[in-house]
Amino acid sequence: MENIGQTILSQYANAAPVYSIIEARNQAIDPSALIDDWYNHVWNVQTAQGYGLDVWGRIVGVSRVLTLTSANYLGFEEANDLTEVGWNQAPWYSGSSATTNYRLSDSAYRQLIYAKALSNISDGSILSINAVLMTLFGAQGDAYVKDNGDMTMTYVFDFVPTDVQVSIIQTSGVLPRPTGVSVSYSIKASS
């Protein structure tokens, strides 16, 4: 309680023993530290940790655990995902892929939560999709979306994404996709 004098009936206002009992009780159960901790560790997405980020993930609809595709396959430039590579670099696709689960760290999960929140309120324009891409990949290099003009668009990355980033791009559901638009991916990184 901030002002315990306001909580005491006027007939006991001058009773020192009652006042000291209530003051001691107030100090013993002061919730301000608990409220501050709850705000910093759960409610404030910028400082949330562990359980707090898990709550935010449920709110925006994204999981901390990603399923990673751990293998690349022989593919061609016109393929629509990021798991294909050229000749003599990977085996043929056999119809099933080996996957592993990966739990994101708090900082990576916070970044994913921000991106999903942006995606949830995105209007599907190139400007808003690029904002999501910059939130996710701004530190790694350029990432942008290209409108191909024929109801298709391409997510372009000027860096080679890690396995975790490939999972975020293709399976997390974070990147917006306008209705009726076909999506492909391209890596323009210099080798």
Domain count, the chain: 2
Q: 35 and 54: one domain?
A: no
Q: 35 and 79: one domain?
A: no
Mean pLDDT for 56-76 is: 76
Q: 87 and 180: one domain?
A: yes
- SS3 for the chain is CCCHHHHCCHHHCCCHHHHHHHHHHHHHCCCHHHHHHHHHHHHCCCCCCCHHHHHHHHHHCCCCEEEEECCCEECCCCCCCCCEECCCCCCCCCCCCCEEEEECCHHHHHHHHHHHHHHHCCCCCHHHHHHHHHHHHCCCCCEEEEECCCCEEEEEECCCCCHHHHHHHHCCCCCCCCCCCEEEEEECCCC
Q: 64 and 25: one domain?
A: no
Domain assignment present for residue 175? The answer is: yes
Mean pLDDT for 66-85 is: 58
User: Which residue range is the domain that position 34 belongs to?
Assistant: 12-42
**pTM to 2 decimals?**
0.65
Q: Whole-number mean pLDDT of the chain?
A: 79
Q: 26 and 83: one domain?
A: no
Tens of pLDDT, residue by residue over 119-170, are 888 888 889 899 888 888 888 888 999 989 899 999 999 888 887 788 888 8
Mean pLDDT for 46-55 is: 93
